[in-house]
Amino acid sequence: MKNKIKVYRAMHDMSQLALAQEVGVTRQTILAIEHGKYDPSLILAAKIAKLFQVRIDDVFLLDSIEE
């Protein structure tokens, strides 16, 4: 899943570590999400979006829906 986490982190001058600590995961989890190697749970996606004060679909972009 594509995402704009890096963009939103830059807009808020936030490191991967700072974001990870705010949402309760490791820096490695944030790195994996940013690189599309891990899809976050709905709860984690909501925490990230809430932190940046945007909607989930502003941060996470669905390429296509897999069946």
Query: Mean pLDDT of residues grouped by 10 in the chain (67 residues)?
Result: 96 98 98 96 97 97 64
Cα(18)–Cα(50) distance, integer angstroms: 15
Q: Where are the domains of the chain?
A: 2-60
SS3 59: helix
Looking at domain 2-60, what is its CATH homologous superfamily? lambda repressor-like DNA-binding domains (1.10.260.40)
Contact assessment for residue 48 and residue 5, using Cβ atoms and an 8 Å cutoff: yes
Q: What is the pTM of this model?
A: 0.88
